[in-house]
């Protein structure tokens, strides 16, 4: 696809989640950040990070697959696509008590946000009956509730909002001109449509992407520009490092240079200064030193637990050991903070 296909300012509907007409971060400006000397980039990111956050605080979020495998989409990175032989067995939607048991365990280990992911192209209305009950149960535990369920139809975001959902995750994945190299069963406009619905329903947006899928640095800049130019930009920005799974089309790619991943975190922090920038998939492969640099670059949230949907994640003890080494502290829920004050 030619570079002319990239249009940051095209607004087909007036909804707030469209890319802003007045570009705050044109792609060229984002690319200039990527091209800064490494130490200068991290210094700038750290300065901005300290203006808006406690630099020693990290938010813990736990992600549970509430419906695994059997997805009809063809995302080249995803082991849950039905068309790929990856060893993932399709499973039905989990029972409510199973989900709440996992949420209780997540909170006991320090998580403040509980995210529920389902391998759907989009949920059917009957599916939402069950998801709404899960959201209400998670909220009753004093946790923030997040869901990633695929593309939403009219009225579905409003149902989730009424149940108390705090965040909806819907990643843009990569730059517009690279998108069709990764996914052909949906398009960029589909992603923006769902983000519109989420914003219009009053739900906070969790939106980021995946790096290490064979994209260029310019295309990484294009991804960050797309996310940063959403109006408003997302409250939560997960940056995933591709976890290569045998059986998926992207298995066997040359791995991304770890310092390039750190650069991506820093650029996300600079362009979206008030967002929670989350280290997501791929942390287990990074090692402690790279993760430490990511925190230095402005990351202040991690997915916490032994699994992210179907791929491995550092275990809780390893995460706590690393945070202790770095002198970092865990962000507490508002409920926990109130209890600490009264005690």
Q: Known binding site for [2Fe-2S] cluster: residues?
A: 115, 146, 206, 278
Contact 207, 188 (CB under 8 A): no
Active-site residue, 50 included? no
Annotated binding site: 71, 75, 78, 115, 146, 206, 278
Active-site residue, 75 included? yes
Task: From the candidates 18, 44, 75, 220, give the one annotated as an active-site residue.
Answer: 75
Nearest 10 degrees: Cα torsion 8, 12, 13, 17: -20
Rg (alpha carbons) of the chain, rounded to whole number: 19
Beta-carbon count within 10 A of 183 CB = 21
Task: From the candidates 18, 44, 199, 278, give the one annotated as an active-site residue.
Answer: 278
Annotated binding site for [4Fe-4S] cluster: 71, 75, 78
- HEC string of the chain equals CCHHHCCCCCCCCCCCCCECCCCCCCHHHHHHHHCCCHHHHHHHHHHHHHHHCCCCEEEEEEEEEEECCCECCCCCCCCCECCCCCCCCCCCCCCHHHHHHHHHHHHHCCCCEEEEEECCCCCCHHHHHHHHHHHHHHHHCCCEEEEECCCCCCCHHHHHHHHCCCEEECCCECCHHHHHHHCCCCCHHHHHHHHHHHHHCCCEEECCEEECCCCCHHHHHHHHHHHHCECCCCCEEEEEECCCCCCCCCCCCCCCCHHHHHHHHHHHHHHCCCCEEEECCCHHHHCHHHHHHHHHCCCCEEECCCEECCEECCCHHHHHHHHHHHCCEECCCHHHHHHHHHC
Task: From the candidates 44, 115, 159, 191, give the one annotated as an active-site residue.
Answer: 115
Task: From the candidates 206, 276, 283, 294, give the one annotated as an active-site residue.
Answer: 206
Active-site residue, 159 included? no
Task: From the candidates 146, 199, 220, 263, give the one annotated as an active-site residue.
Answer: 146
Task: From the candidates 44, 71, 207, 263, give the one annotated as an active-site residue.
Answer: 71
Active-site residue, 278 included? yes
Which of the residues are catalytic?
71, 75, 78, 115, 146, 206, 278
């Amino acid at each position: 696809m030619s570079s002319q296909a990239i249009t940051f300012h095209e607004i087909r509907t007036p909804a707030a989640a469209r890319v802003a007409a007045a570009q705050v971060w044109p792609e060229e400006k984002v690319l200039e950040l990527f091209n800064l000397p490494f130490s200068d980039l991290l210094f700038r990111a750290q300065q901005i990070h300290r203006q808006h956050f406690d630099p020693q605080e990290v938010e813990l979020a736990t992600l549970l697959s509430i419906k695994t495998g059997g997805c009809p989409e063809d995302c080249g990175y995803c082991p849950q696509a039905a068309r790929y032989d990856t060893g993932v067995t399709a499973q039905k939607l989990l029972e409510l008590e199973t989900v709440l048991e996992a949420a209780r365990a997540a909170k006991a280990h320090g998580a403040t946000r509980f995210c529920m992911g389902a391998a759907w192209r989009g949920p059917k209305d009957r599916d939402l009956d069950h998801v709404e009950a899960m959201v209400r149960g998670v909220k009753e535990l004093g946790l923030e509730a997040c869901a990633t369920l695929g593309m939403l139809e009219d009225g579905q975001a409003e149902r989730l909002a009424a149940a108390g959902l705090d965040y909806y995750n819907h990643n843009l994945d990569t730059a517009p001109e690279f998108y069709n190299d990764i996914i052909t069963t949906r398009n960029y406009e589909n992603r923006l449509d769902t983000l519109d619905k989420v914003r219009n329903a009053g739900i906070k947006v969790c939106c980021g992407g995946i790096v290490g899928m064979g994209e260029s640095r310019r295309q990484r800049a294009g991804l960050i520009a797309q996310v940063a130019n959403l109006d408003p930009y997302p409250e939560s920005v997960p940056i995933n490092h591709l976890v290569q799974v045998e059986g998926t089309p992207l298995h066997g790619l040359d791995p991304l240079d770890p310092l390039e991943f750190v650069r991506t975190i820093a650029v996300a922090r600079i362009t979206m200064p008030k967002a929670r920038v989350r280290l997501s998939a791929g942390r287990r492969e990074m090692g402690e030193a790279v993760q430490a640099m990511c925190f230095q670059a402005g990351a202040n949230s991690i997915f916490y637990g032994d699994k992210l949907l179907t791929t491995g994640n550092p275990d809780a003890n390893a995460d706590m050991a690393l945070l202790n080494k770095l002198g970092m502290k865990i962000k507490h829920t508002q409920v926990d903070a109130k209890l600490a004050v009264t005690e």
